Homo-oligomer: A and B are copies of this chain.
Amino acid sequence: MAMDFIIPRTHATELLSSKVVSNANFSRKEENLPIDIKENLAITKCSGETQANLASVITHYVETLNQYSLRNLGYPTNQNFNYDTLASLLHFHLNNAGDPFLGSSFSLNSTRFEVCVLDWFANLWEIEKNKYWGYVTTGGTEGNLHGILVGREQLPDGILYTSQDSHYSIFKIARMYRMQCMKVSTLVSGEINCVDLKALLLAHKDKPAIINLNIGTTMKGGVDDLDLVIQTLQECGFTRDRFYIHCDGALFGMMLPFVEQAPRITFEKPIGSVAISGHKFLGCPIPCGIVITRLRYINALSRDVEYIGSRDVTITGSRCGHAPIFLWYAIKRKGLIGLQNEVRKCIMNAHYLQSRLRNAGIGAMLNRFSSTVVFKRPLDEEFTRRWNLACKGNIAHVVVMQHVTIEMLDSFVAEFLQKRSIWFEDEQFQHVCIAKDIGSGNCGCSMHTIQCHD
């Protein structure tokens, strides 16, 4: 190859000039892409690619994304944002390695923005500035990783209790951290069953309790009852020094404070940490999140790292400097009033969807304070993919976020009804009762009457 004469042979050039060229089959999954896009996508050449060729791949990709955006119903990611004002920041690598409150010797950081965002959340969750610690994470999972680690370091032989409807990251974390984990059953709403929790706590009274609470659950948007959990702990004889509560508030942790008469997640109650996702309700191009905990727990965990001129007390170390600026921008631009209006609109539209489905004879559940509408899983995989529905067992859900319009919901329901009429012509598809998943008042099958859930 020509390059051998231009530059010295190194391990990389020997290896890649012989192997990569044959590596045009770039993905394990079958792709329906135009041939020229396929070839441009694969990394097969030794010399650099022209910007024009790369731009054409991106243009094609953006067209696909635009199509998908029109029918993005199942995942709680707000796609309705505009960060054009921040475009110039893409010219910098920004890195908030270390403790945001101490800054870092790496000067291309955004810790000033990060601290503004953290202070705002500390206010939201009612903990004083000099009593809290937190950071902007890479997403809900990192927030859970951090909160549960803080809990474990406080109570090293604590047992982790979490409901069966918890996010998959919680069970993974228990394994990573070598913690004993008790799975607690749930009510139909998805909330943790405190009767079951009580039985488990009583059976393991000798060990402290680390409790993960879902604010709310991934599939049903069920909000665990914080007050009842605290009461249960007290009834079982767990004093304040023998339990730690982490609140996984991925989506609703951000929405709940803006809902009238909703239960309060607050550090005025004996909780240890709260984590939410930043890309869910607030909307952000990249996954991110916030975790807030009590400052006094952190000193036990941290370690000074001279190299970065800070202390190492986060999970990931090098941290994205852009994410805090996206979050700062979103909060500043919308303001409290804007955020509250968005929450109200999402919940109103969720009620609209539930009514449309019920009126068409499709059972649907919508928990109080929630914008997650749960219904029977569509029988056609292609249809669920087309609308980006998230499914589990017999149920599917739509999470009504800011980009979900009434028109989008109308179009979804119309197509759903049309498809159902086709599915049920085929005798192999049977009407399944999902009363055990969403309650007999919601299931919509012929055996049960549809009643308003809330």
A105 touching B74 in the complex, CB below 8 Å, given contacts A31-B112, A93-B279: yes
Contact bitstring A66-89, B, C-beta under 8 A = 1, else 0: 001100101101110111111111
A215-272 contacts to B, CB under 8 A, are 218-219, 256-260, 262, 264
Residues of B within 8 A of A115 (CB): 26-28
Of B10, B23, B126, B178, which is within 8 A of A258 by CB? B10
Residues of B within 8 A of A393 (CB): 306
Residues of B within 8 A of A48 (CB): 332-335, 337-338
User: Is A54 within 8 A of B333, CB to CB?
Assistant: yes
* Interface-lining segment among A168-176, A195-203, A438-446: A168-176
* Interface-lining segment among A315-323, A351-359, A409-417, A424-432: A315-323
User: Is A69 within 8 A of B92, CB to CB?
Assistant: yes
Residues of B within 8 A of A383 (CB): none
User: Is A126 within 8 A of B15, CB to CB?
Assistant: yes
Residues of B within 8 A of A406 (CB): none
A93-144 contacts to B, CB under 8 A, are 93-95, 101-103, 105-108, 110-113, 115-117, 119-120, 123-124, 126, 129, 138-142
* Interface-lining segment among A183-191, A360-368, A384-392: A384-392
A38-84 contacts to B, CB under 8 A, are 41-43, 45-49, 51, 54-55, 58, 61-62, 65, 68-69, 72, 74-75, 77-79, 81-84
23 A-B pairs with C-beta separation under 8 A: A11-B256, A11-B264, A20-B123, A26-B116, A29-B102, A29-B103, A31-B112, A41-B328, A54-B329, A58-B86, A62-B89, A79-B92, A84-B90, A95-B287, A138-B142, A149-B176, A169-B317, A176-B177, A177-B178, A219-B307, A286-B321, A308-B390, A309-B391
